[in-house]
Amino acid sequence: METLFVGNNIVHLTEVDSTNSYAKALLKDVKLPEGTVISTDNQTKGKGQRGNIWATEPAANITCSVILYPKFLSASDHFFLSKVISLAVHATLAELLDSGNYDIKIKWPNDILVNNKKICGTLIENAFRHEKLQESIIGIGLNVNQEDFGELSDKATSLKLLCNKGFDKAVVLKRLLKHIEVQYLQLKQAKEASIHENYLKHLLLFGKTSTFKDLKNDGEFKGKIVDVLPNGLLIIETSKKERRKFDMKEIGFGY
Ligand code: BTN
């Protein structure tokens, strides 16, 4: 492993309900080294964002959780962790795919899309203490060799579907862990400004006038994404030049 600490300790399980839940339970009993990875071939009760389930074909994809202790981050800045993980997945895919032929984007808050289809989802579960982040479980589901997404086939994709060839999951994981470490160390070295700039550079619909759904008021409006706050709120400037803040469950956008 070419990393200093991310992935130096890998706990691989043949089957588990959820790697995030397993990591959380394990952390109650033992202090695991920072960068420990819990991975599995078959996740039977995967958790997605907003209480959704994350279903994935056994053995086909990367299904793992990385344990980090970002105690240097204030609770109000917690979204920087999400930004660096999105950038790490983005960089991994840019390395594996010929980026001239593929459009790799971060969909706020932290989905990764290639050619407008989702290839990776992230579920970050944080524990806070005294207004600081204490412990973070970074759950990542990256579609590698799955070919059939059933009813989601117009919304989801994998490396194999994109390239018409299978990938060695161990190689993809190794690259992903390397990028997670690089990005995380940038954050630790207080490179927030460049991380933010990079995140916005790859953000889907950034600065583009688009139609959004206000899920609280059940209405559509036109606007453009102009920023993402350190706490993760999305800022949209409406056509009337009004700046509105949205949380995850409050906004929907087609892509
Ligand atoms: C989403 O896009 O809704 C987030 C999906 C996150 C899925 C991963 S798979 C590994 C880890 N364990 C879980 O239970 N969920 C995350």
The enclosing domain of 102 has a CATH number of 3.30.930.10
The yes-or-no verdict on residue 59 having pLDDT over 90 is yes
Separation CA 94–CA 102 (nearest Å): 8
Is 73 among the domain residues? yes
Binding site membership of 49 for ligand 1 (Cβ less than 6 Å): yes
Model pLDDT, residue 244: 95
For residue range 201-210, list pLDDT tens digits in order: 999 999 999 9
What is the share, in percent, of the chain residues with pLDDT greater than 70? 98
Same domain, 53 and 150: yes
Q: Which residues contact 200 (CB under 8 A, 6 or more apart)?
A: 206, 227, 228
Which of 39, 42, 47 to mutate to test ligand 1, by most ligand atoms within 8 A of the CB atom?
A: 47
For residue range 141-172, list pLDDT tens digits in order: 999 999 999 999 999 999 999 999 999 999 99
Atom of ligand 1 nearest to the CA of 64: 10
Same domain, 134 and 168: yes
Model pLDDT, residue 255: 47
Atom of ligand 1 nearest to the CA of 141: 9
For residue range 239-250, list pLDDT tens digits in order: 899 999 999 889
This prediction's pTM:
0.97
Is 237 among the domain residues? yes
Domain count of the chain? 2
The yes-or-no verdict on residue 100 having pLDDT over 80 is no
Binding site membership of 61 for ligand 1 (Cβ less than 6 Å): no
Binding site membership of 86 for ligand 1 (Cβ less than 6 Å): no
As a whole number, mean pLDDT of residues 41-47 equals: 98
Binding site membership of 122 for ligand 1 (Cβ less than 6 Å): yes
Model pLDDT, residue 1: 60
- Domain of 45? 10-201
Contact indicator for 48, 54 with CB cutoff of 8 Å: yes
Same domain, 145 and 215: no
Same domain, 165 and 57: yes
Binding site membership of 19 for ligand 1 (Cβ less than 6 Å): yes
SS3 state at 167: coil
Is 41 among the domain residues? yes
* CATH code of the domain in which 244 resides: 2.30.30
